[in-house]
Structure 1
Amino acid sequence: MTTPAHENDPRVKRTRQLLLQAFISLLEERHNIHSISVQDITEHATVNRATFYAHFEDKYALLEVWMREKFHHALESQLPATSTLQMSTLRLLILAVFDFLALWQYHLKPADRQFVPFFEVALQQELQEVLLHWLNQVPSSVPVYQEIVETTALIISWAIFGPAVQWSRGDQTITKDVMAQHVLAVVIAGLSPVVTVT
């Protein structure tokens, strides 16, 4: 994903938002991602192609930002504003991931199924960042290498994401709450070498 050098500049933020809004608007009109081109997005946003490419490497980079933002907002809406790494917030996080993926699978158009692997990687990376943020906030009595913290966030994100993907694809013989309890047990065990979750 291409990130402009001055991403905190209000003009850069406005332009990126304008491009994202153009994409969302086109998606509401056409109902599938496949039919939307960079040309369509730039025309709808009333900017030129050079402006688009100054902000995004290609359509897929924009799609990644869009999906990650959507997922991030969905997680934020399910979690307390000042969430930290606790048993209760981990459970809420797991349930939010299950909910999001189930809803996403339900609304996914057949023409857009080709984007599923791409989107799943973007969502897993967003989840990994949330977990890494939480892990970095935990005070530790013994020094823990950042590399170990990052690896733990990676492993735990997949421990949550993998079962949620399988469950959302239709393997729902076990209820979401029961699945969340099973996943939580695995997550707690996975976190134990790095941090004690209460």
Structure 2
Amino acid sequence: MPVNLSDPRVKRTRQLLLQSFMDLLEQKKNIYSISVQDITARATVNRSTFYAHFEDKYAFLECWMSVKFRNVMEMHLPDYELTGMSDLRTLIQATFVFSARLREYTSPGDVQFEPMFEIAIQKEIEQLLLRWLRQREGPQTSVAKGMMETTAEVISWGIFGSAMQWSRHPGQRTVETMTRDVLAVAMTVLAPVS
């Protein structure tokens, strides 16, 4: 039976599990080495409670990554929204910084989690972009709506893919240079829907 995510008890339990994971991550510095048993013991809840909220460790980690990314973005973007090109620039730059920080918490043993993290973060970026595009355009035809969705998807993968690739070799170019270049490309992609 799916949990009601708007229930305050569900929110508290999920937050407790996520905070317990963060505490363990600070101690162990390795995502791979933290088990569901470690998380539930730290949170002082039963494993069955964990599985009532998350299908498995992978679903938990995907949720953790989305929440972590959202929290970081909320520090940079008021109301977790884009309102113009300066916010788009902020989103791009914060994504690069976030990707570099993520590398600090992963090790070669964590490589199996990378695709899941990529999808979680890319989806967050895509949703931000799509909300922004919809606000800018107002009511759309199905063709315009499809174009907006495609635009948000392409730009989100461009931002995130560039950030992840850069985070593997951050010394080659600065965050500022990458942000400027990715923003220029994003503006070009946005031109037809502007």
TM-score normalised by length of structure 2: 0.87
Using the alignment, how far apart are the partners of 1:151 and 1:138 within structure 2?
A: 16
Give the Å deviation of 1:50.
2.1
Deviation per CA, 1:5-50, whole angstroms, max 9, x where unpaired?
A: 4110101111111211222222223221222222222222222222
Using the alignment, how far apart are the partners of 2:125 and 2:140 within structure 1?
A: 26
1:76 corresponding residue in structure 2: 74
Percent of pairs identical after alignment?
A: 53
The ranges of structure 1 where at least 4 consecutive aligned residues each deviate by more than 4 angstroms after the TM superposition are none
2:191 corresponding residue in structure 1: 192
Look up the equivalent residue of 2:147 and give its one-letter code: I
Deviation per CA, 1:32-80, whole angstroms, max 9, x where unpaired?
A: 1222222222222222222211110101111111111111111121224
Q: Against the structure 1 CA distance between its residues 84 and 115, is the aligned structure 2 distance closer, same or farther, given a 3 Å change threshold?
A: closer
1:103 corresponding residue in structure 2: 101
Deviation per CA, 1:121-162, whole angstroms, max 9, x where unpaired?
A: 211111112112212221348646433322221111011111
After TM superposition, the structure 1 = structure 2 runs for residues 62-141 of structure 1, keeping only pairs within 5 Å, are 62-81=60-79, 83-140=81-138
Give the Å deviation of 1:172.
3.9
Q: Against the structure 1 CA distance between its residues 171 and 31, is the aligned structure 2 distance closer, same or farther, given a 3 Å change threshold?
A: closer
1:146 corresponding residue in structure 2: 145
1:176 corresponding residue in structure 2: 175
Look up the equivalent residue of 2:88 and give its one-letter code: L
Larger helix share, 1 or 2: 2
Give the alignment partner of residue 29 of structure 1, picking from 27, 30, 40.
27
Q: Against the structure 1 CA distance between its residues 82 and 41, is the aligned structure 2 distance closer, same or farther, given a 3 Å change threshold?
A: closer
2:59 corresponding residue in structure 1: 61
Q: Indicate if the aligned counterparts of 1:132 and 1:150 stay in contact, CA closer than 8 A.
A: yes
Aligned residues: 193
Q: Against the structure 1 CA distance between its residues 39 and 83, is the aligned structure 2 distance closer, same or farther, given a 3 Å change threshold?
A: closer
Q: Against the structure 1 CA distance between its residues 102 and 125, is the aligned structure 2 distance closer, same or farther, given a 3 Å change threshold?
A: same
Q: Indicate if the aligned counterparts of 1:42 and 1:52 stay in contact, CA closer than 8 A.
A: yes
* Unmatched segments (≥5 aa) in structure 1: none
Give the Å deviation of 1:117.
2.4
1:18 corresponding residue in structure 2: 16
2:192 match: secondary structure: coil
Q: CA RMSD in A?
A: 2.2
1:193 match: secondary structure: helix
* Unmatched segments (≥5 aa) in structure 2: none
Q: Indicate if the aligned counterparts of 1:84 and 1:137 stay in contact, CA closer than 8 A.
A: no
